[in-house]
Amino acid sequence: MITMYKKFITFSALAFCIGFITYAYFNHWIIIAYPRRQAATTDSLIPGHQKKKITLYYWHNNNWHSENSELLWSSNKVDCVTYLIRAWLTVLEEEKATSRSITLQTAILTASQQELLLSFDRKPFDHESNTYTKWMWIEGLLKTIRLNNLDIQRITFLEHHQPLQDDHLDFSNPWPIKGFLPS
């Protein structure tokens, strides 16, 4: 009889401990972390990519501003341009240098690798924006691409893969990467 009683107490205590540990684990009172392998570096995750320090230029409050950043850089020029422009658009949004969120849909190089076609999901500026503000937006993008050494000569701006339409600026022809600002 006593042996049976000891077995019952031992079994109950063991069930209670297992139940309590399970309850504590699922309620995050106990955290079990398994040893992990060291995280691989970015360079080994994506072959042909490396980190590069870049500078993003934009016009805001009637002044040029620049922001340094680090991006993944590839031997593929289209990937580099895409990463660069998306980072630039993010900075514009964070700094409130643009009134709307703009997304780069596609970046494509022509066969000569000298002309870049950029398609955005909407017009990069408001209808109410003045010509100078629109022009400086474009110049900021051109300057960012030019000064990050991407070896592109011209850029065509598109909206939903169609030529960008604007009442003040002409987007029917590619814009030279040098822009139109006096040096």
Is the confidence at residue 183, as pLDDT, over 70?
no
- Burial class (CB within 10 angstroms; exposed 0-12, middle 13-18, buried 19+) of 115: middle
When pLDDT is cut at 50, 70 and 90, the band that residue 68 belongs to is very high
The pLDDT score that the predictor gives to residue 31 is: 76
What tens digit of pLDDT does each residue of 91-111 get?
Answer: 988 888 887 888 999 899 988
pTM value is 0.71
Answer yes or no: is pLDDT of 72 > 90: no
User: Domain residues of the chain, as ranges?
Assistant: 1-35, 42-176
Which pLDDT score, from 0 to 100, does residue 42 have? 45
Is residue 30 within 8 A of residue 21, CB to CB? The reply is: yes
Average pLDDT along the chain:
85
Q: Is the pLDDT of residue 37 over 80?
A: no
Per DSSP bridges, beta strands 63-74 and 115-120 are unpaired
The pLDDT-based confidence of 181 (bands split at 50, 70, 90) is: confident
- Which pLDDT value is given to residue 32? 74
Q: Tokens 């570096």 — which residue? A: 41
Q: Taking the chain, what is the end-to-end CA distance rounded to the nearest angstrom?
A: 101
| pLDDT(166) > 80 | yes
Dist. CA 36–CA 25, nearest whole Å: 20
Q: What is the largest CA-CA distance in the chain?
A: 102
Separation between Cα atoms, residue 16 and residue 93, nearest integer Å:
55
Q: How confident is the model at residue 1 (pLDDT cuts 50, 70, 90)?
A: low
To which H or E segment does residue 174 belong?
A: none
What are the beta bridge partners of residue 106? Answer: 119
What would the pLDDT profile of 111-136 be if each residue is shown by its tens digit?
A: 888 899 999 999 888 778 888 988 99
